[in-house]
Chains A and B, each alone.
Chain A
Amino acid sequence: MVWQAETRQAPLTPPEEPALDDKLRRQIRAMFKQYPTKRAVLLPALHRIQQQHRCLSPQALAEVAELLELSPAEVMDTASFYDMYSTTPRGRHVIGVCESLSCELCGGGELLTALRDKLGVEPGQTTADGKFTLITMQCLGACDFAPAVLIDETLYKCVTTEQLDEILGALD
């Protein structure tokens, strides 16, 4: 008997409006001239989308594929490879604790435990109020400031557990 295929996915309901707004599209197109291929714009384009939307939705990926003349699968293939891209929404602030050697030697582990307790989530999870996502990260290139924590785009140096309340409190 022939293997029978089932439709496993509900058809995508066409969106009311595009995920990528005109400005974003213009910004992405403006990068074309910097590279010999359109595909080379993919990483910078995904960075911009993620920054604006805080995640890469299937619809956004499909639209960027169209812009770069790629198949959605090719875009997904690339996007899924990199740690900085997320296809599920993250919290308003992403707290990344470095778990590599120099930081571990200087108390990174205790810091992570303290953050777990304070936020009540495990690495990879988001707090119920959607404010914080806790993640572990590999060496941040800041081992001279171990233990290092990257919150959104800001590096926090030589962080102690005592400082955590103050740091978290300052984030809106």
Chain B
Amino acid sequence: MEFEPVLTRNLGVPNIGDLKVYQSRGGYEALRQALASPRNELKQTVKDSGLRGRGGAGFFAGVKWDFLPADHPGPFYLVVNFDESEPGTFKDRYLCDIDPHQILEGVIVTAYINRIDTAYIFIRGEFHHQAEVLQRTIKQAYKEGLLGKNILSSDYSLECVLHRGAGAYICGEETGMLEALEGKRGWPRLKPPYPAVAGAFGQPTVINNVETLCCVPPIIQRGADWFKSMGTKKSTGPKLYGISGHVNRPGVVELPLGVPCRELIEKHAGGVRDSKRCKGVIPGGVSMGVLTRDELDCPLDFEGPPRYGCMGLGTAGVIVMDEDTCMVTALRNIVRFFAHESCGQCTGCREGSGWMLQILNRLLGGQGRGRDLELLLDLADAQGMAPGKTICGLSDGTAWAARTFINKYRSEFEAKVSTRDRVAV
């Protein structure tokens, strides 16, 4: 069956950022439909659709919404995660570039379902242009009665505020984001309590990624079964894949979840540049680890990458590296990123990433010592949330990248240990 684009349905429509044009393409019909439906039914539809979060963790959206305390009198907040700072990821920016009203419709429908009073769209500070576009979009929506008091003459009211970040990857982590929203340094909070119970300003808060929210209106309009007809059993629906690095046609493509990595690169990104061979592929942002050239059959859905030793699908920001890439240099780049972005609260993450960077620099400078690879792996094991060693998942990214790069390209790393030391061990 030919795949019919969902999130990119309005790609290339002239002036789609204009409300009238968006409406002429069926825009805000889902909102109308939602406002006339009971909230429970809508939430059930989203749950039945199997929609999973597109921000990195893949948590079921409808299930998360269920954690909001039913007896809370309000207020409830929605915080939209448009921080998009994971290296290799640019799909949310793309959504805003090709169809900004689509984002807002997703926000309003989701807010309605969850009885939200105020939605804060948290956009990373470096997205100057996109912030301007969204600000305009929000203004238009207020003017046309799609935001504010009594939306489309219903009894539902919603305020929407665009909030700009100020250059810190950690604010993509949902509780770091809440701290930034509250005017503090973006230090992730210890959980529990989870944001659904005590989030922004201490109130119950839904946090979702931009792409997740964009899936909601189509689900409301076309139903759970339609959504489930795309993708795999456990990873339903369409997905935006961002492809960058050594490919002929970098960019974003929308495909059903589960496309094999090889097909994505060969068919949708024009293959590896300069007719070179592929050496390794990062499946979903640099936090996830790496797939080797022999692992490219890996389906890019939520279950695929873990079967190949990676942490997960992540953001589906795929980075392709050709045969000439030095994997030690690539890992150094990734570790440098995490060392720079560590918020500093947890020792394993703050110190560990810095030490790892030093060791990698030493290896690349020809000064590698015999025990360095084990030391790197030890440091990776001393951080991360999965075994409960740190507050947030940032350092899991450091750990998974280091583990997979070193284990899968071991000989390349060993070759960097200075010959004198190699003999000695």
**Residues of chain A having any CB pair with chain B under 8 Å:** 34-37, 39-44, 46-47, 68, 77-78, 80-85, 99-102, 104-106, 137-146, 150, 153-155
Assuming the A-B contacts A143-B319, A144-B251, are A43 and B85 also in contact, with contact meaning beta carbons closer than 8 angstroms in the complex? no
**Residues of chain B having any CB pair with chain A under 8 Å:** 75, 84-90, 92-94, 124-129, 159, 161, 163-169, 180-186, 201, 242-246, 250-252, 282, 286, 317, 319, 321, 325, 329-330, 333-334, 336-337, 340-341, 343
A144 to B330 Cα, complex, angstroms: 18
Contacts of B180 in A (CB 8 A): 43
A78 to B183 Cα, complex, angstroms: 7
A168 to B291 Cα, complex, angstroms: 39
Contacts of A39 in B (CB 8 A): 182-184
Give the 4 A-B CB pairs with smallest separation, nearest first.
Answer: A42-B183, A83-B167, A82-B166, A81-B185
A37 to B75 Cα, complex, angstroms: 14
Cross-chain contact B246 with A143 (CB below 8 angstroms): no
Cross-chain contact A141 with B250 (CB below 8 angstroms): no
Q: List 17 A-B pairs, Cβ < 8 Å.
A: A35-B161, A40-B181, A43-B180, A44-B164, A82-B166, A82-B186, A84-B167, A85-B167, A99-B333, A101-B334, A104-B333, A140-B126, A141-B126, A141-B127, A143-B244, A146-B244, A154-B129
Cross-chain contact B159 with A34 (CB below 8 angstroms): yes
Cross-chain contact A34 with B317 (CB below 8 angstroms): no
A99 to B389 Cα, complex, angstroms: 29
Cross-chain contact A144 with B183 (CB below 8 angstroms): no
A62 to B28 Cα, complex, angstroms: 45
Contacts of B333 in A (CB 8 A): 99-101, 104
Contacts of B183 in A (CB 8 A): 37, 39-43, 68, 78
Cross-chain contact B86 with A102 (CB below 8 angstroms): no
Cross-chain contact B317 with A143 (CB below 8 angstroms): yes
Cross-chain contact A146 with B250 (CB below 8 angstroms): yes
A140 to B184 Cα, complex, angstroms: 23
Contacts of B182 in A (CB 8 A): 37, 39-40
With contacts A140-B126, A141-B84 known, what are 20 further pairs, Cβ within 8 A?
A34-B159, A37-B201, A39-B183, A39-B184, A40-B183, A43-B183, A46-B166, A68-B183, A78-B185, A81-B168, A83-B166, A100-B87, A100-B333, A101-B319, A104-B329, A105-B245, A106-B244, A137-B126, A138-B85, A143-B319
